[in-house]
Amino acid sequence: MTEPPQPRPAPPEPDPPGPGARRAAAPPVTVAVAAARPGGSDDQAGLLARLRAGDQRAFAELVDTWSPVMLRVAMLHVSSRASAEEVVQETWLAVVRQLDRFEGRSSLRTWAFRILENLARTRGRREARTLPWSSAFPGDGEGDGGGPTVDPARFRGAGDRWPRHWTDAGAPVAWEPPPEDAAVAAEVRRELRAALDELPPRQRAVVELRDVLGLSSDEVCARLALTPGNQRILLHRGRARLRARLEGLYRGRTEGDGGG
């Protein structure tokens, strides 16, 4: 392999030190984590020296700390989790192979994330030919046609005394126990993970970045080149689908209990 591909004009700072990064980096506050922070350049040099000296623990720590963020960044460009994993894997392979040639003009982190962005973009462009990511924005168009997010049958008709209000059967029922309760938390996580992976890519990307990673709407708009309005539409439709999935989960539980 040659020098890592240089970034196109001015790539956005690939990885915000947002809440997700904080969460991902929670347990071991050591060299790799310090280097992941802005201003950690002294440790950065130490980290590079350790890697070049073959310190496998330092490398493992780096992989564990940066990979979660890398996966999310990759998912901005590619269409599936599997694709994102491959992009991150390729990135680490490039880092390992080119480590000795890395001149340290940028931080190790900036360098690694540039490689990632380039690989992810290239792959994303290839996938865009067959996937709807780059499609225009008719309502949001991603397979649900921009229609209502809640089944219209759950609301009263125009001739009713209270048109467009919930019917008795359609009204949402409180979730018991709540999703954070230990009795259901694991089931809720599984359901959400599966539901997220099934969302149309743009909805998934927005929900992942906003609600899972905790980025601000401004950051997400910048990342995905979305207007604030379109970002909200995608967030709205994605969240509505996920809420509906959890509702289905709770309904199934209740029926499983014999209607109680």
Partner 1 sequence: MGEPRRVDGSGGDAVLEVACQEFVELVTEHLEGALPPAVERAVVAHLALCDPCVEYLAQVRATTAALAQLPPPTLPEPVRDQLLGLFGRLHPPSPGP
List CB contacts of 146: < 8 A, sequence separation 6 or more: 138, 139, 140
Residues 32, 74, 194, CA angle at the centre, nearest 5°?
A: 105
| Minimum distance of partner 1 from residue 140's CB (angstroms) | 12
Give residues in contact with partner 1 (CB under 8 A).
Answer: 20, 23-24, 49, 51-56, 59-60, 63-64, 67-69, 71-72, 81, 84-85, 88-89, 92-93, 96-97, 99, 148-150, 152, 155, 162-166, 168, 171-175, 178-180, 185, 188-189, 192-193, 196, 207, 211-212, 214, 217, 228, 232, 235-236, 239-240, 242-243, 246-247
In the bound state with partner 1, the residue whose beta carbon lies nearer, of 71 and 224, is: 71
| Minimum distance of partner 1 from residue 10's CB (angstroms) | 27
* Gap between the Cα atoms of 144 and 59, Å rounded: 44
| Minimum distance of partner 1 from residue 245's CB (angstroms) | 9
DSSP conformation letters of 169-212: TTS----SS-TTSHHHHHHHHHHHHHHHHHS-HHHHHHHIIIII
In the bound state with partner 1, the residue whose beta carbon lies nearer, of 67 and 110, is: 67
Nearest to 133 by CA among 186, 183, 195, 80: 80
In the bound state with partner 1, the residue whose beta carbon lies nearer, of 125 and 248, is: 248
| Minimum distance of partner 1 from residue 9's CB (angstroms) | 29
In the bound state with partner 1, the residue whose beta carbon lies nearer, of 131 and 240, is: 240
List CB contacts of 240: < 8 A, sequence separation 6 or more: 149, 150
| Minimum distance of partner 1 from residue 63's CB (angstroms) | 6
How would you label 2-32 residue by residue, b for 16+ Cβ within 10 Å and e otherwise?
eebeebeeeeeebbbebebbeebbeeeeebb
In the bound state with partner 1, the residue whose beta carbon lies nearer, of 10 and 174, is: 174
